[in-house]
Structure 1
Amino acid sequence: MPRRTVTMLAATLSLIALLCAGVLIPVPYSEMSPGPTVNTLGDARGEPVLRISGHETYPTSGHLNMTTVRVTGAEYRMNLVEAVAGWIAEDAVVVPHDTLYPDGKTAEQSTQENAEEFSQSQESARVAALGQLGIPVSARVVVSSVQKDSPAEGRLHAGDVIKSVDGTPVRDPKDVAKIVTKRRPGKPVTFTIVPAKDAAAAEKAGRAPTTSATVTVPTKRAPDADRAIVGIQAGRDHTFPFAIDIKLDDVGGPSAGLMFALGIVDKLTPGALTGGRFVAGTGTIDDTGKVGPIGGIEMKLVGAREAGARYFLTPAANCPSAAPATPEGLTLIKVDTIADAVKSLEKVRKGDTAGLPDCSPG
């Protein structure tokens, strides 16, 4: 066999071997790509994303689209060929697997965490939106969760309203831990609560709860420090003056908070907040209306522009990475709070786009 033929055959076989190895060898990476966008003013799967009852609402127009990112699953392991293809692609980002799934989280754990964050973002969106409109919302400190096999198990329950701890009134979830840790591990703590069932019944009846109970809970030493714990997570619950339901399946995480809040504001105020224009965006939001950064901003920009967005509400902390990745035809608007976003949308509505807050790399 001629030497040239042997060389070509050897090279071909080597290439095939390399390709086979690339397909078979897993690498510790995951891929992010643009996900679907959903108009918070419209419907999803035939159901309104936002449904408000018990308060006057107004017609809306245009788009206030929340954006998403698709990611490979926690248990999926990319091969070398897929990773290289992702690095080359313009509409995908390959990142270390641990960036998306730290501490070896399983798919079930990640799904549960995302669901909890999504639920909390909806709650904060309601509070922030009504706060922006000057509509009061009452708040209370509650037991969010009780750890299994902890001293509090069977004594306190999720949904219990915490009125005081050791006789000291609590007004913030952080107050609970501060008071408990003043005890030496092993010493009991006294909680004054409104049981979850009584609190729920009172809220449904539109009245303040009239019953309370005193519960003594032992403490134990925390696994990581010499401090007392009872094994609960305290949180904040709100009583809204009317119903605001947010329905959106197959979405998780906290990053839709800002767009939900703006959708609520739009529906509760006369006139179209966007002036009929296509606006998309992202950002977490807290009860005070503060907007926080999110992950995967580059992919969300791509998804928004492909959906038809012309403006993108961008958390200020994301601007340095978002600005260089801005697709042609998309204008980024920097926001720190929901009030910033409302003011900027007023400029968009009036066509005063030259005065929009600049989202630049530096």
Structure 2
Amino acid sequence: MVTLEKENVRRPHRRALTLGLVAVLVLVLAVVGAVMPVPYVSLRPGPTMNTIGANPETDKPLIEITGAPTHQASGHLNFTTVAYTGGPKRPISLFTALRDWLNDERAVVPQETIFPKDETVEEVEQENTFLMEDSQQTSVAAALIQLGQKPSTVAAVQTVEKGLPADGVLQPGDEILAVAGVAADRTTRVTGALKKYKPGQSVELTVRRAGKEQKVTLALAPSPQDANRAVIGVVLRDRYVFPIDVKISVGDIGGPSAGLMFSLGIYDLLTTGDLTGGKFIAGTGTITADGQVGAIGGIQQKMLGARKAGATVFLVPAGNCDEAVPAAPEGLRLVKAETLDGSIKALQALQSGQGAVPSCSS
């Protein structure tokens, strides 16, 4: 009897000790999970803005056009974005990653998806800024070409490499108009002309800076990658020269995926009638000058953001259709977008109720 009584006394004590150890272990794991950084990024729906309306932060038109008559447009043609949490400078915790992984509105992806290992955060941000600027330029070109106007181009300096001949002579934004007196209206013509030179030879460039032309002479240097190739040390990109001035104000949003919606907004403002028919239409997709629509990332988060904002129609790049269909929120009609011209015709068919409207599910 004595032995049984002693064991009966010890058992509650052992259970309490075990529960106490489990509680401590859970607490330790919770603390570790809350502070332990993981190399992942959490994606969520970002802001969505109406390209034919006002920027909500400034209350000014998101797209301002001067030099051509414009027409007031109704409805919405919203571009969509993806926001993220995490990154090399502010990594998310294990707990946050697990919590967001269970959230249907979020996607947890490897950090390298946004921040490649061979690039700094500053380089990624700079690249996204450039991609947005380039997207805006291309979207204007696409809209004007759709309207029967073909803008001219010029080779513009994007960056100047330190320690090479152009360093201290050329600046970002300079436009190279001619090489050795021969007109060059695009990047390929500038680079093609420079291929005729050898390291050590000099070349005269006609450059336009802030509207003023000047001539500069540079002695070409061997390329750091190929000693037999002559370079001046700049990265060039084609810049369009438009007959009108188009200003697109989106704040600090970066990336190229709003191109299609910018083009549609510009087209709608420059033409009579409405593309939307008063509907709330949103979408995404890159754009080329000849109107080709390209695939983008974060389609699920963009659709969710659009639906929450009130969109009932969403323009999906053809390359994103397969992943968009199963992730589409209820009440959002998906329209497949392959070209700017096709997207315009699809919106006109939606408005009139006549004609085929391309769908992601067909």
TM-score, normalised via structure 1 length: 0.89
SS in 2 for 1:102: coil
Going from structure 1 to structure 2, the CA distance change for 1:109 and 1:261 (only over 3 Å counts) comes to: same
SS in 2 for 1:213: strand
> Alpha-carbon deviation of 1:293?
1.6
Partner of residue 360, structure 2? 359
Residues 222-262 of structure 1 deviation map (CA, whole Å, 9 limit, x = unaligned): 33775332211112222222222111212111111111111
Residues 163-214 of structure 1 deviation map (CA, whole Å, 9 limit, x = unaligned): 3435665343133334434544x232524313324xx25xxxxxxxxx5635
How many matched pairs? Answer: 348
1:19 partnered with 2:30: yes
> Alpha-carbon deviation of 1:344?
0.9
Bigger Cα displacement from structure 2, 233-242 vs 64-73: 233-242
Residues 303-325 of structure 1 deviation map (CA, whole Å, 9 limit, x = unaligned): 01111111111111122222221
Match of 2:21 among 10, 34, 39: 10
Partner of residue 209, structure 2? 196
Bigger Cα displacement from structure 2, 148-157 vs 34-43: 148-157
SS in 1 for 2:237: strand
> Alpha-carbon deviation of 1:134?
1.1
**d(CA) in 1 for partners of 2:309, 2:300:** 15
Going from structure 1 to structure 2, the CA distance change for 1:189 and 1:326 (only over 3 Å counts) comes to: farther
Q: Which amino acid aligns with 2:334?
A: L
Q: Is the 8 A contact 1:146 1:158 kept in 2?
A: yes
Match of 2:76 among 24, 40, 63: 63
Structure 1: where are the runs of 5+ without partners? 202-210
Q: Is the 8 A contact 1:174 1:234 kept in 2?
A: no
Q: Is the 8 A contact 1:155 1:215 kept in 2?
A: no
SS in 1 for 2:331: coil
Going from structure 1 to structure 2, the CA distance change for 1:159 and 1:105 (only over 3 Å counts) comes to: closer
SS in 2 for 1:300: helix
**d(CA) in 1 for partners of 2:86, 2:225:** 31
Q: Which amino acid aligns with 2:51?
A: T
Percent of counterpart pairs with the same letter? 40
Q: Which amino acid aligns with 1:88?
A: L
Q: Which amino acid aligns with 1:128?
A: A
Partner of residue 41, structure 1? 52
Going from structure 1 to structure 2, the CA distance change for 1:214 and 1:27 (only over 3 Å counts) comes to: closer
Match of 1:262 among 264, 267, 271: 264
Match of 2:287 among 255, 278, 285: 285
Cα RMSD for the two superposed structures: 2.2
Partner of residue 86, structure 1? 100
Q: Which amino acid aligns with 2:105?
A: D
Partner of residue 208, structure 1? none
> Alpha-carbon deviation of 1:270?
0.7
Going from structure 1 to structure 2, the CA distance change for 1:160 and 1:104 (only over 3 Å counts) comes to: closer
Partner of residue 6, structure 2? none
Q: Which amino acid aligns with 1:310?
A: T
Q: Is the 8 A contact 1:160 1:193 kept in 2?
A: no
1:127 partnered with 2:141: yes
Q: Is the 8 A contact 2:46 2:81 kept in 1?
A: yes
1:308 partnered with 2:349: no
TM-score, normalised via structure 2 length: 0.89
Residues 113-156 of structure 1 deviation map (CA, whole Å, 9 limit, x = unaligned): 22211111111111111111113322222223221222212333
**d(CA) in 2 for partners of 1:7, 1:352:** 72
**d(CA) in 2 for partners of 1:260, 1:278:** 15
Match of 1:114 among 115, 123, 128: 128
Bigger Cα displacement from structure 2, 43-52 vs 234-243: 234-243
Match of 1:250 among 242, 249, 252: 252
**d(CA) in 2 for partners of 1:23, 1:141:** 51
Partner of residue 297, structure 1? 299
